[in-house]
Amino acid sequence: MQHFINVILPIPLEKLFTYSVTRAEANFLKVGMRVAVPFGKSKIHTALVAEIHGTAPTLYEAKDIHQILDDEPIVTELQIKHWSWVAKYYMCSIGEVFRSAVPGAFLLESETLILKNSETTVDENTLTDEEFLVFEALERQSMLKVQEIAAIVDKKNVLPILKRLLDKNVILTKEEVYQQYKPKLVRYVKLGPKYQTEEELSALLDSLSRAPKQSNVILSLFQLQGTNHKKITVKELEEKSKSSVAIIKALIDKEILEEFFVRTDRVVFDSTKKTKQLKELNQYQANALQAIKSSFKENKVTLLHGVTSSGKTEVYVQLIADYLAKGQQALYLLPEIALTTQLIARLQNYFGEYVAVFHSKYTVNERVEVWNNVLANKSKAQIVIGARSALFLPFSNLGLIIVDEEHEASFKQYDPAPRYHARDSAIVLANFSNCNILLGSATPSIETYYNVKQKKYGYAQITRRYGNVLMPEVELVDIKELTRKKRMKGHFSERLLRGITEAVQEKEQVILFQNRRGYAPIVECTTCGHSPQCPNCDVSLTYHQYKKQMRCHYCSYHMALQKSCLACGMSTLNTKGFGTEQVEQELQELMPNLRIGRMDLDTTRGKHAYEKIITSFEKHELDVLVGTQMLTKGLDFGNVSLVGIMNADNLLNFPDFRAHERSYQLLAQVSGRAGRAQKRGKVLIQTYNPYHQILQQVSTNDYEAMYTDQINERRLFKYPPLHRILKITFKHRDYGKVEDASAWFAKSLRVAFKDDVLGPEFPAVARIRNLYLKNVVLKIKKEQPLGKTKDYIKKIEKSFNAIGQFKGVRVIYNVDYI
């Protein structure tokens, strides 16, 4: 009998690919192990074994595998089942799920890799068409092989192109090795074997009396070791004795000291810290916990709807403790890495070293470690906190999933595929793993609340803040009036400035929210009306004062700020609109003594950048924190008494069916940062439109009213949760091609789906990185079989791909787009 394996390749293939293996290999291999396989002309890929069987493929001759890479599976069968669901539901290949689910170090390939040089910003205008193609592909995929690049530019010899890109600092090359993951070895020292007895030791110290530096090192080692003989690292010794590596090395060479290495995890928790008792829940929290538990008994997805600062986290903690006691794993999903900082600290307080963290700011090696710990079901990774990708870890004994801030849009992955929603995919995972799942929010998504109303989901509620602190008092400040009467100082109303002054006098802190970063989104010449645009994208350049630059927020393009108008030459440049940078600066000028910090994409780039800002605000080294929506999400600061919203209108006027829901959530969440500890907080919302229904609902904290309005509109206009929506985006460098391709596709869809097809339409930003975009939206009735609908669309895509004229147009599916 012949033996075969079907494997998942980390590339967008429709089907699994079959390879032939020997009998011994077939006996050794298990589903979930990696194999290196040849694919295409000369490429070697890392593939994942999905099936082992005896049926030869009919359409091609199965090649032999190159080599087996694992002794044991690194992926579970349950994961493969879940990934298949993700691929099918979100209309991508399982290979794409595989690629994004595992840490990059698991996908080892045997060639020179081309990487983007993230150190330089590239002026796309200096690239030739071919160079641009390579550059663009590297934006989507972090690494490419030379062969893949050859396919992209459709040329055999791509070395000249790569050489030019190297010269322009656009790319880097890297020789790939088979095992990228390097266990971290820590260097320790101890006394050499010759110096174990007291006599030997005093002899040694005598002999060193003329080498004070060296004897100092030995004495420091004694001190560090203390009585319990703990292991001392070279680094500790170096610091303690204030000596140099050279001196320590000399001692090692003389065999007075002996070095040894121990493999350690990169992510370690200080296990000397004592954990704390769980907090006792108040009556409202206890009731909610009861409601959750009884809903879990019925195996229902459950929503914990608790107002901001009602103590939802403490309820989660109690639940986690239950599952931990049963020896089960718990996954705690958060929408934003920024949030993990505070949560890690909170959970480690209770659960110490059981807590592991997994997210994209961790290095590849750190992620491999967490992966392996979860796979081995180690206690040190029994509780995993993570952003959406933590969903794909190899859990084997999952008992509980918590999706905190479930309403957050950032749970949906936008680019690249799989464009999955982590909350929804978590619900499916919970179902597959027979585990419980709790969604939590103060402002649930319309989708989730609808499911509660339909009795599909269970429900628990906390309507009061912990400690009976009142909900913050919301005051709407009409800046239209004030602007007319010229009573604004820059973008600040007197009311807001007074609020800030009072809070700071009381030694309280303030959060200011503005939904744009940079100084001003538009620079305009008041003489001719020209405003600088990005050459690659259809947007105005945002002015960043700190760097004295105009920057595109969609690509890496930037240029120095001009002194005079590029079109007419007059120096009548004026800014329009304002971002966080301007808020910070204006306030600093108005109140020079204020200590102001800023949290937005520009200030949080490094791995620990969030942590630094959050910690310094927590420590009250700052009076005011200005930020974008990053700071609206679940942060818990005890001393904030005032939240100011600089301008609510640009949120409300956003052209999207979710704009009102979003605005409510955002405003309610950012308001919820005020007055969490003792005193009632205050929220000042500056707006041109104080009678807007959403602002009224926010100020009366009336979620129900907002929900009712929104669900009625969604019903009327056929939007989720009553219909499903699928967005198909067409992308190409050529405007005409995008026009024709999207029109053809929409027409084909209309044959079957008639009025449920919208578009094609250009999005608000219709060109990004020199690629034109056009969208077609399909509304799918709930009762319409989803699988069939998708198959039908895929069929249309097949015919589409056969049309020569549309060659090169990218077709991107976004199911349940947000």
Q: Which among Zn ion, ligand ADP, none contacts residue 676 (Cβ within 5 to 8 A by kind)? A: ligand ADP
Tell the smallest beta-carbon distance from residue 282 to ligand ADP (Å).
5
Q: Pick from Zn ion, ligand ADP, none: which does 110 bind, CB < 5 to 8 A by kind?
A: none
* Shortest distance in whole angstroms from residue 124 CB to Zn ion: 8
Choose among ligand ADP, Zn ion, none what residue 281 binds, the Cβ cut-off being 5 to 8 Å by kind.
Answer: ligand ADP
Dist. CA 311–CA 309, nearest whole Å: 5
Q: Which does 557 bind (CB under 5 to 8 A by kind): Zn ion, ligand ADP, none?
A: Zn ion
Sign (positive/negative) of CA torsion 525, 529, 530, 533?
positive
Tell the smallest beta-carbon distance from residue 676 to ligand ADP (Å): 6
Q: Quick count: other Cβ atoms within 10 Å of Cβ 633?
A: 19
Residue 548 phi, psi (nearest 5): 50, 50
537, interface contact from Zn ion, ligand ADP, none, CB < 5-8 Å by kind: Zn ion
Alpha carbons 244 and 225: distance in angstroms, whole number:
19
Q: Tokens at residue 622, please?
A: 């700052």
Instruction: Identify which of residues 270 and 280 has a Cβ nearer to ligand ADP in the complex.
Output: 280
Q: Which does 554 bind (CB under 5 to 8 A by kind): ligand ADP, Zn ion, none?
A: Zn ion
Q: Which residue is nearest to ligand ADP (CB)?
A: 311
SS3 content of the chain, % helix, strand, coil (to 5): 40, 25, 40
Q: Which one of Zn ion, ligand ADP, none is in contact with 303 (Cβ closer than 5 to 8 A by kind)?
A: none
Dihedral angle over CA of 361, 362, 363, 364, nearest 10: -110
Supply the minimum distance, in Å, between the C-beta of residue 682 and ligand ADP.
18
Work out what residue 354 binds among ligand ADP, Zn ion, none; the CB cut-off runs from 5 to 8 Å by kind: none
In whole angstroms, what is the distance from residue 564 CA to residue 525 CA? 8
- Binding footprint of Zn ion on the chain (CB under 5 A): 534, 536-537, 552, 554-555, 557
Minimum CB–partner distance for residue 344 and Zn ion (Å): 35
The entry of ligand ADP, Zn ion, none near residue 312 (CB within 5 to 8 angstroms by kind) is: ligand ADP
Task: Choose the contact partner of 445 out of ligand ADP, Zn ion, none; CB within 5 to 8 A by kind.
Answer: none
Shortest distance (Å) from residue 311 CB to ligand ADP: 3
Nearer to ligand ADP, 676 or 779 (CB): 676
Pairwise CA distance, residues 430 & 296, whole Å: 12
Q: Which amino acid is at 304?
A: L
Q: What's the token pair of residue 553? A: 């927020």
Q: How far apart are CA 709 and CA 799, in angstroms?
A: 42
Collapsing DSSP to helix, strand or coil, 117 comes out as coil
Q: What angle do CA 751, 715, 419 make, to 5 degrees?
A: 65
The span from the CA of 331 to the CA of 401, in Å, is 5
Element (H, E) at 222: helix 212-225
CB closer to ligand ADP out of 408 and 756: 408
Q: Which is nearer to ligand ADP, 308 or 540 (CB)?
A: 308
Closest separation between CB of residue 614 and ligand ADP, Å? 14
Say how far apart CA 777 and CA 760 lie, in whole Å: 8
Instruction: Supply φ then ψ for residue 419, to 5 degrees.
Output: -90, 70
The entry of ligand ADP, Zn ion, none near residue 279 (CB within 5 to 8 angstroms by kind) is ligand ADP
Residue with Cβ nearer ligand ADP (306 or 532): 306
Looking from the CA of 227 toward its CB, the CA atoms found within 13 Å total 0
- Shortest distance in whole angstroms from residue 321 CB to ligand ADP: 13
What's the closest the beta carbon of residue 178 comes to ligand ADP, in angstroms?
A: 45
CB of 348 to Zn ion, least distance (A): 41
Nearer to ligand ADP, 450 or 466 (CB): 466
Helix crossing, 198-207 with 212-225: angle to 10°? 150
> Which is nearer to Zn ion, 139 or 709 (by Cβ)?
139
Report the residue number, 357 or 537, with the smaller CB distance to Zn ion: 537
Task: Quote the longest CA-to-CA distance of the chain.
Answer: 96
Q: Measured between alpha carbons, how far is 401 from 408 in angstroms, rounded to an integer?
A: 16
Q: Cβ 554 to Zn ion, closest distance in Å?
A: 5
Q: Least Å distance between CB 406 and ligand ADP?
A: 12
Place of tokens 């690509």: 555
**From CA 499, how far away is CA 681, in angstroms rounded?**
11
- Cβ(573)–Cβ(565) below 8 Å: yes
Q: Which does 534 bind (CB under 5 to 8 A by kind): Zn ion, ligand ADP, none?
A: Zn ion
**Rg, Å, the chain Cα set:** 30
Torsion of CA 535, 536, 540, 545, to 10 degrees: -80
Residue 333 near residue 320 (C-beta atoms within 8 A) = no
CB 174 within 8 A of CB 139: no
Closer to Zn ion at the Cβ: 24 or 560? 560
Shortest separation between residue 545's beta carbon and ligand ADP, angstroms: 35
Q: How far is the CB of 285 from ligand ADP (least distance, A)?
A: 6
Q: Cα–Cα distance between 571 and 551 in angstroms, integer?
A: 20
**If contact means CB under 5 to 8 A according to the sort of partner, which of Zn ion, ligand ADP, none does residue 359 touch?**
none
**Residue 761 interacting partner from ligand ADP, Zn ion, none (CB closer than 5 to 8 Å by kind):** none
CA end-to-end distance (rounded Å), the chain: 51
Residues found near ligand ADP in the complex (CB under 6 A): 279-282, 285, 306, 308-314, 466, 636, 676
Degrees to nearest 5, angle at CA 631 with 629 and 633: 85
Among the listed residues 392, 413, 426, the one whose alpha carbon sits nearest the alpha carbon of residue 815: 413
> Based on CB atoms, which residue is closest to ligand ADP, 313 or 514?
313
Pick from 780, 779, 767: nearest CA to 730? 767
Judged by DSSP in three states, 116 sits in strand
Q: Which is nearer to ligand ADP, 314 or 581 (CB)?
A: 314
